[in-house]
Structure 1
Amino acid sequence: MASDLDFSPPEVPEPTFLENLLRYGLFLGAIFQLICVLAIIVPIPKSYEVEFHLEA
């Protein structure tokens, strides 16, 4: 009965170019969305420009 069990790893085909492109594209899209959400949550302090009036 123990000889009937097959513990070898399943044969998984290598991903194609389009599958890799989709995987990495979705990964980069998720990172971009996280950056956008963090940009809304964490405000960046604005730098105020100081104007100098020089008298001649």
Structure 2
Amino acid sequence: MYLDNVTGSIQVGKSADMIVLDRNPLSIPPTDIRNTKVLCTILEGKTVYEIV
């Protein structure tokens, strides 16, 4: 999509879209991934969802 100048890495000036999970999905059995919870969602550098 040719958006390398605004996305794709964590750098000053780039869009920061990410989620924070309650566990590492790469270190748990695949059958447990469905139980993973999103703790925080960050869109364009602003927190738009957060479990308090």
Answer 1 or 2: which has greater strand percent: 2
Larger helix proportion, structure 1 or 2? 1
Quick check: TM above 0.5?
A: no
Calculate the TM-score normalised by the size of structure 2: 0.20
Work out which of the two has the higher radius of gyration on C-alpha atoms and give 1 or 2. Answer: 1
- Bigger relative CO (Cα 8 Å, ≥ 6 apart): 2
Normalization by structure 1: what TM-score?
Answer: 0.19
